[in-house]
């Protein structure tokens, strides 16, 4: 199949990959656009793994305020050079990551960041749920591990479906940016604030303290 300039341009617009990479991808899959996108994603993952050991100390911190000031996010995303950090593509990626955090409320950046105590507690809860559902013990452990993967998708930013395109994860989004820039790109940390979050608990704690003080008086 003839690979036209228009096809290459369409693939580049959809993936932000380089022109030559787009052409090679289309040739490899005989012009199938969807397969070419998947080809580039897989290549991006491979290149991201190769770049994982490199130092990414440049980048930017971005903020996002949502719902009329009810949710606020600060996020740091790193790359290797100041040149890439200043590109519109990188800035757009960082803003999309901030939007994701505001919309989906992850608790951690990646699976590796989830404390073991959290995982142990979640496994205990899931195991009890499965047994209460009457599932045979021999398949409970498989069920628990399957549900742990769902848990990761809920609490880990990189595992979540991307809010603008649920067919890919945030990790896929980062991998595509890595492929397009040729540099290691990594989400380092974030903070999310939600108006009123935790106030109810503090009021309850204060009431308990007042009650204890009253008893002692």
Rounded Cα distance between 151 and 167, Å, is 18
pLDDT tens digits, one per residue of 122-158? 988 988 888 888 888 778 888 888 888 889 999 999 9
Instruction: Answer whether 178's CB lies under 8 Å from 51's CB.
Output: yes
The domain containing residue 124 runs over which residues?
115-153
Look at residue 78 and tell me if it is in a domain: no
User: 51, 75, 91: which is the final residue of a domain?
Assistant: 51
- CATH number where 144 lies: 1.10.286.20
- CATH number where 24 lies: 1.10.8.10
Angle (CA) 112-156-194 rounded to 5° is 130
Neighbours of 165 (CB within 10 A): 11
Rounded Cα distance between 130 and 141, Å, is 9
Look at residue 84 and tell me if it is in a domain: no
Percent of the chain with pLDDT strictly greater than 70 = 83
pLDDT category of residue 5 using cuts at 50, 70 and 90: confident
Look at residue 211 and tell me if it is in a domain: no
Instruction: Answer whether 32's CB lies under 8 Å from 153's CB.
Output: no
For residue 29, pLDDT over 80 is answered with yes
Look at residue 141 and tell me if it is in a domain: yes
Look at residue 19 and tell me if it is in a domain: yes
In this structure, of 32-41, 170-179, 186-195, the range with the lowest mean pLDDT score is 32-41
Neighbours of 144 (CB within 10 A): 20
Rounded Cα distance between 56 and 75, Å, is 15
**Domain count within the chain:** 2
Q: Which two tokens stand for residue 179?
A: 């492929």
Look at residue 38 and tell me if it is in a domain: yes
Strands 71-79 and 161-162: unpaired
Sort residue 191 into left (φ over 0), alpha (ψ -120 to 50) or beta: beta
Instruction: Answer whether 101's CB lies under 8 Å from 192's CB.
Output: yes
pLDDT category of residue 214 using cuts at 50, 70 and 90: low
Instruction: Answer whether 158's CB lies under 8 Å from 187's CB.
Output: yes
pLDDT category of residue 203 using cuts at 50, 70 and 90: low
Look at residue 12 and tell me if it is in a domain: yes
pLDDT tens digits, one per residue of 73-84? 999 999 999 999
Look at residue 173 and tell me if it is in a domain: no
């Amino acid at each position: 199949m003839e690979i036209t300039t228009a096809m290459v341009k369409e693939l580049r617009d959809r993936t932000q990959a380089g022109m030559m990479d787009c052409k090679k991808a289309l040739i490899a899959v005989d012009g199938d656009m969807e397969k070419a996108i998947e080809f580039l994603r897989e290549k991006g993952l491979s290149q991201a793994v190769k770049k994982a050991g490199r130092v990414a100390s440049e980048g930017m911190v971005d903020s996002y305020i949502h719902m009329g000031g009810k949710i606020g996010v600060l996020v740091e995303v790193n790359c290797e050079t100041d040149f890439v950090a200043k590109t519109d593509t990188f800035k757009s990626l960082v803003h999309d990551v901030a939007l994701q955090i505001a919309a989906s409320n992850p608790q951690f950046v990646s699976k590796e960041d989830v404390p073991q105590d959290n995982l142990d507690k979640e496994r205990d809860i899931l195991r009890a749920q499965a047994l209460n559902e009457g599932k045979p013990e021999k398949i409970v452990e498989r069920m628990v591990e399957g549900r742990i993967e769902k848990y990761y998708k809920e609490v880990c930013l990189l595992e979540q479906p991307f809010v603008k395109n649920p067919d890919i994860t945030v990790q896929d989004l980062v991998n595509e940016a890595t492929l397009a820039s040729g540099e290691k790109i990594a989400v380092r940390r974030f903070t999310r604030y939600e108006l009123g979050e935790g106030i109810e608990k503090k009021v309850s704690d204060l009431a308990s303290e007042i009650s204890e003080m009253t008893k002692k008086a």
